[in-house]
Amino acid sequence: MPARISPQPKPVEQLAPARRPATPPPASFAEVINLWPSANDLAVVLDVEAVTVRAWRRRGIPARYWSAVAQAARVTNRPVDERLLAELASVRRARLYG
């Protein structure tokens, strides 16, 4: 005969696994670049000069690199994809050109 089930509920911490708080997506190209420890780290992944990546903080990441940046973010579990980069470019254009 199976043992009786205890009527006492288990503590909440045993029921649900611990979760990290969700981080909001980056709000600018500079914040996207800052997701990596340094501009040099991202530059190595993208095979560009570090000075180029640092300039992207001001100028924005060119569209031709969005796919590579999104792939690097996916591999390292960072919250960046092509859609986000397109939205950031759209917001940036609206600010610059009204």
Domain that holds residue 33: 25-97
For the record, the structure tokens of 48 come out as 């560009």
pTM equals: 0.74
Mean pLDDT over each residue of the chain, to the nearest integer: 85
pLDDT at 17: 56
If you average pLDDT over residues 8-13, what whole number do you get? 55
Report if residue 42 sits inside a domain: yes
The CATH code of the domain that includes 93 is: 1.10.260
Q: How far apart are CA 39 and CA 53, in angstroms?
A: 6
- For residue 55, tell me if it sits in a domain: yes
Element (H, E) at 33: helix 29-33
88 C-beta neighbours (distance < 10 Å), count: 22
pLDDT of residue 7 exceeding 90, the answer is no
pLDDT band with cut points at 50, 70 and 90 for residue 46: very high
Which tops the pLDDT comparison, 98 or 19?
A: 98
Question: Structurally, how many domains does the chain consist of?
Answer: 1
- Is the pLDDT at 87 greater than 90? The verdict is yes
